Amino acid sequence: MEQRRQQAEEEKKGKLFKFEIITVKAWGIILKRTPKKARYQSEDLGKGITLEMVYIPEGSFLMGSPKTEKYRNRNEGPQHQVTLEPFYMGKYPVTQAQYEAVMGKNPSYFKSWFKGKNRPVEQVSWHDAVEFCKRLSEMTGRTYRLPSETQWEYAARAGTTTPFYCGETITSKLANNGWNHKKTTDVGSFPPNAFGLYDMLGNVWEWCADSWHDNYEGAPSDSSVWEGEDPYRLLRGGSWITYPGYCRCANRYYGTSGSQLHYLGFRLVVFGAAWT
């Protein structure tokens, strides 16, 4: 009876999908391949376009980077414990097809005319991303928003403590960064992390909901958005134009909220009980 109840609770989280994660040694040689599975919900945006949201379980982690981490910036400390409730996060950055389905336009520089416009949308400002969330929420009846910085790093790490979710380093075969394609690539072209999220490192910088702060003094210890008076907004994950050190899980960057550049995109979150 208890087993059936647990199974029913699991199924409420969404459909099951399977994937493989890769762990590398410090010099980039593959150490192991590990099969994983996760659950997701699918949002129908019309005309055959869907949005897949992956279930991210509750948990705690140490946010920020240790002083010994290579390429570390001072704004990545002090390290602090954060505890989060479950939520759903976009399996991929928002694509050009998804953005066009909701907003009626595609502002991207690297337009993908083939394969259903599966490159991430870029040249979107923080305000554009917030407006997308607003319109999508009105369409679906669920409250979509940009992730808080704590949600983003927790989801990116997926239980790891290394600089990258694949290990101590990252290569051109594991993420789209400044060492390879020199442009955006179709979402899902590289291996995911242990939560089943793709392109969390590289491809496009992703806007977070939070205002920029120079360090973690006074930072939230939960999934709250950290507001402030600074005119800059948080960016996470690095992009196709940045070198690996900027694609670390702990790396923090910022941009003015009105910036519309060909390496700025975003990803969505929604409250964990939205489908249950």
In a domain, 129, yes or no: yes
Give the per-residue pLDDT at 116: 52
Give the per-residue pLDDT at 184: 94
3-state secondary structure of 39: strand
In a domain, 209, yes or no: yes
Mean pLDDT of the chain: 93
Give the per-residue pLDDT at 255: 96
In a domain, 130, yes or no: yes
In a domain, 9, yes or no: yes
CATH number at residue 113: 3.90.1580.10
Measured CA to CA in angstroms, residue 84 lies from 62, 137, 151, 227 at distances of 12, 22, 7, 18
Which domain, by its residues, includes 78? 2-271
- Residue numbers of the chain with a pLDDT score lower than 50: none
Domain count, the chain: 1
In a domain, 78, yes or no: yes
Give the per-residue pLDDT at 89: 98
Give the per-residue pLDDT at 1: 65
Residue range 119-162, pLDDT digits in tens: 999 999 999 999 999 999 999 999 999 999 999 999 999 999 99
Q: Are 201 and 243 in contact (CB under 8 A)?
A: no
Q: Are 232 and 211 in contact (CB under 8 A)?
A: yes
In a domain, 276, yes or no: no
In a domain, 57, yes or no: yes
Residue range 31-41, pLDDT digits in tens: 899 999 999 99
In a domain, 39, yes or no: yes
